[in-house]
Amino acid sequence: MSKSKKRILIFTDLDGTLLDPQSYSFKEALPALERVRQRKIPLILCSSKTRAELELYQRKLNVGDPFISENGGAVFIPPGYFPQAPEELKEKDKYLVLELGVPYETIRERLSEVFGKLNVKPIGFGDLEAEEIASLLNLSEAEASLAKKREYDEPFYLPDTFQQENIKSFQGKFKASGLVLTAGGKLFHLHGDHDKGKAAARLIQIYMADLADELLTIGLGDSLNDLPLLETVDVPVLLKKEDSSYQQEILDKLKVYKTLEIGPRGWNRAVLDLMEKYDPNAG
């Protein structure tokens, strides 16, 4: 089979995609991860997780590429990664950062205000101790502490008495103030008018300006908040969920590569298959 001459970029969600939905292990994806590393293909983590959480996984995965935090709230780029960095990037701590999100404090205020008018009490990460988040998401307390370091997005859930089908009525109320309400794998998220796709598209533009080669972008995800990312890339990959279903709203909108297995096992097979198909250095 002839190979594409394009440079590959891989964008990946974490929970339920590269990471096992229960154990958060990526062990079953190690063969593909090693292949990606050998081929020097950028692996761009694109998650609802915070910068602090993603820094942990950058270390665990031995990845030094840019990453996208909190559903596209910001793109973090290591200094010197691009020889000619765009002027729109700002220096923040040890990164060059493209900020697309609304400050966390503003999001928290608006969340309480909108739901409060109907006497509904959302429970966000800002209301929970690290121990409670650890129990909710099956994390260690250390990992939960990192999850609390929000900058652009508030994950929350609603009381059992709340009728979930009513959530759409709140989306318009938030939209009026420039905020977006989305559903993730286990939680709702409230954030600015950004998403994984918008952040990925901006980062792709930076890569295109830096590289002489044409790009081929691959994106992997499993939940509705991954739809904008999957719509942005050339090759969208939809992971099978833990209950063996697929996110139907994504199937309704996109032609995707569907994995036959869940989490890192499905991720591993998809990436190996696609690299065999598209990697000009393979074979």
Q: Do the domain assignments include residue 111?
A: yes
Rg, the chain, Cα only: 19
Residue 196 pLDDT: 96
Last residue of a domain, which of 192, 219, 242? Answer: 192
Are 50 and 70 a contacting pair, CB within 8 Å?
yes
Length of the chain: 283
Q: Could you report the per-residue pLDDT of 79-135, keeping only the tens digit for each?
A: 999 988 888 899 999 999 999 999 999 999 999 998 888 788 899 999 999 999 999
CA–CA distance, 28 with 43 (Å, rounded to integer)? 17
- Same domain, yes or no, for 95 and 213? yes
Q: Do the domain assignments include residue 2?
A: no
- Same domain, yes or no, for 212 and 96? yes
Percentage of the residues of the chain whose pLDDT score is greater than 90: 73
Q: Catalytic: which of 13, 15, 20, 226? A: 13
State yes or no: pLDDT of 40 exceeds 50. yes
Q: Do the domain assignments include residue 148?
A: yes
Q: How many beta carbons lie within 10 A of that of residue 276, not counting itself?
A: 13
- Same domain, yes or no, for 25 and 69? yes
Q: Could you report the per-residue pLDDT of 189-204, keeping only the tens digit for each?
A: 899 999 999 999 999 9
Residue 283 pLDDT: 47
Residue type, 62: N
CATH of residue 90's domain is 3.40.50.1000
Q: Do the domain assignments include residue 57?
A: yes
Per the annotation, the verdict on 13 as an active-site residue is yes
CA–CA distance, 260 with 135 (Å, rounded to integer)? 30
99: closest CA among 192, 184, 171? 192
- Same domain, yes or no, for 205 and 144? no
- Same domain, yes or no, for 140 and 82? no
- Same domain, yes or no, for 162 and 176? yes
- Backbone region of residue 178 per phi and psi (left: phi > 0; alpha: psi in -120 to 50; beta: other values): left
Residue 141 pLDDT: 95
Exposed / middle / buried, residue 22 (Cβ in 10 Å: 0-12, 13-18, 19+): exposed
The domain in which residue 156 lies consists of: 104-192
Q: Do the domain assignments include residue 283?
A: no
- Same domain, yes or no, for 205 and 257? yes
Last residue of a domain, which of 157, 192, 227? Answer: 192
State yes or no: pLDDT of 184 exceeds 80. no
CA–CA distance, 40 with 215 (Å, rounded to integer)? 14
- Same domain, yes or no, for 143 and 212? no
Q: Do the domain assignments include residue 143?
A: yes
272: closest CA among 10, 6, 5? 10
Are 238 and 259 a contacting pair, CB within 8 Å?
yes
Last residue of a domain, which of 133, 168, 192? Answer: 192
Q: How many beta carbons lie within 10 A of that of residue 88, not counting itself?
A: 11
Q: Do the domain assignments include residue 31?
A: yes
Q: Do the domain assignments include residue 222?
A: yes
- Confidence class for position 58, pLDDT limits 50, 70, 90: very high
